[in-house]
Structure 1
Amino acid sequence: MASSVFRLAPLPNPPVPLPRVPGPKLAPFNPDARADIEFVEFVGRENNLDSQVWRVKINGAALHQSYFCHSETLRTGQGGDLARPLATSQLYCRANGRLEEEKREDLAVKAYGYLLLTPQQEIYLARKELVSGKAPNPHEAQHMWSDLDNLHLLGIFVGDTHGGNCVGGKLVDFSRSWTMYHPASVHIRDSELQGLMLEELQHLLDYYYLLKNSLPRTIAISQDLEAFCSGHISKYNNLPSAYNWLKWEKSSDMAKAYVDGKLFERAAL
């Protein structure tokens, strides 16, 4: 049986925008993609298999940083031949790159660039005591559904919308996202894609119910979101696969040929 994995070149020195394939990219945070980092507070979930999200200080500035700590567990798709492990975490930059292209960085916590951690920083992270972040207030929570809907319009399937993936009502982690172009979003059956969309929307709806019961002021839950999660997902029109990603490419023919023939290479198990 064959499987498909990413075959990307090692990171160049000095660093360049990633990933090194056609499509959206994220530039390094600074010229050498290294920095002295003060890890202030963990704001994600302790049992997250994909990544850790931290509040950090870099040169005195307060930021959020996602650290991809278990990249071998991530998958490009769900089910069948599309459930295959990623060979690199480079492609996790694509969602933030798309938001920068479209000037819609308001839809998630802004990404200022990527950093490469030193071995010492990784050891330090492994020893840190994790502290949970605070839930959003009612005003922040109110826009989460419209933000997710807009992310879909920009060709981004988040796939991971639980409460631990949000800080102040904004997404901080795109480690499971598919950003067009992505083979899984166009080559799986419509019924499977609808199932994945339903699962993503249901996670958000569950989080809304949790917030509604815990916040001091009532928040309104979109009737559209509740309807889609109640069996009407086939009527959801904003599928990420409809996004025209080729509009950003200098040569759309070359970019399409690359992703069709080289982005995923066949390799025997």
Structure 2
Amino acid sequence: MQTTDEIASRSANIYDPQTKPARSILDDYPYAVIADDNEKLLVDARTGRQLSDPETGRLLYDPEGRPLGEGVVGRRVVGGEDVAVSPEEHDALAEAAIGSRIEADEARAFSRGEFGKYVVVRGPNGPERSIHILNTLRGSDAVKVGAHEMGHMIDDLAGKIVGHDRVAPVRMIDQDGIKAELRWLYNDLNNPTLQQARAAGRPVEQSSSKVYRGFGPEQMGYKKGIEADRELMAEAIRAYMANPNYMKTVRQRRLPAFAPM
């Protein structure tokens, strides 16, 4: 009987989001205005509701009107830029969410071709979750693979039940209406031909050539359906954690909020 569910990373060749010009806060809150007599106060022009603390400028609500906590990934204050999750915060975030830090394991703990995995094991008191990366990964590769697995973690913890296996319910964040955008993002972050052209200094975009688009999880050996869809969302979450401004700039429709962040 299967007592473990694993979602594995099959490549360490994933890339950082592009740096984009910082957006205005009014791009994030198009219905809001900054008070004439207080540059720290953001007000909903439709209702008059204060969206920020007038003393500190700390944002109190997200663009959808949901209350914001202290650990915001993205814009935190009026006049400030988006704040990413730093690599130094990854372990603490994982520990807060699943009770354990990211573990660096020897190659024998992985199947051939795996560089990381998010694991759900049946425990005595319910599912037990953990994140593992290959201990030979160095520098930014270790960070990116770990962040990708954290994307799976958030997709699992914040998602809705879409099925069941023998370990725990299968949970995923709803992708209705955003699948095309998720695929665009995955290609932008994983297409090796596109990334090589950018690394060579060529100002190319996905629209420049057909070789720069259409790269999806299936090209990495993931099955179409839930398996590939999990990869799409994990990469979108990784991109948002690494560079919230990139996500806000390139997206065509608003992606879901990534609780618990």
Compute the TM-score of the two structures, normalised by the length of structure 1. Answer: 0.26
Give me the TM-score of the superposition, normalised by structure 2.
Answer: 0.26
Q: Which of the pair is proportionally richer in helix? A: 1
